[in-house]
Chains A and B, each alone.
Chain A
Amino acid sequence: MTNSLLWYATRGAGAVTEILLTCVVVLGILSTLRVQTARWPRFLTTGLHRNLALMTLVFLALHIVTAVVDPFTNLGWAAAFIPFASSYRTFWLGLGAISFELLLAIVATSLARGWLGHRAWRLIHWLTYAAWPVAIVHGVGTGTDTWSAWMLAITACCIAAVGVSLVWRLTTSSRDPLAAPRLDFRSAVDRREVR
Chain B
Amino acid sequence: MEITRIEARDAALRLLNHLTTGIAFAAIGAVGVLAAVSAATIPGSSPAASTTGSSNTTSTASSDTSASSSDSTSSSSSLQGSSGVSAASGGSGVAVSGASH
Contacts and interface: CB of A to CB of B under 8 A. Distances in A.
Given A13-B31, A41-B9, A59-B31, A7 B23 contact: no
Contacts, number: 94
Contacts of A172: none
Interface of B: 8-9, 11-12, 15-16, 19-20, 23-24, 27, 30-39, 41-47, 50-51, 79, 99, 101
B68 to A, nearest CB: 26
Contacts of A52: 20, 23
Interface residues of chain B: helix, strand, loop or mixed (majority):
helix
A152 B69 CA distance: 43
Given A12-B33, A19-B27, A73-B101, 8 more contacts: A4-B45, A8-B39, A16-B30, A48-B16, A48-B19, A72-B51, A72-B99, A72-B101
Contacts of A51: 16, 20
B24 A144 contact: no
Contacts of A2: 46-47
B78 to A, nearest CB: 11
A4 B16 CA distance: 37
Given A40-B12, A41-B9, A148-B38, A4 B32 contact: no
Interface of A: 2-4, 7-9, 11-13, 15-16, 19-20, 38-41, 43-44, 47-48, 51-52, 55, 59, 62, 71-73, 144-145, 148, 150-151
Interface residues of chain A: helix, strand, loop or mixed (majority):
helix
Contacts of A3: 45, 47, 50-51
A44 B44 contact: no
A147 to B, nearest CB: 10
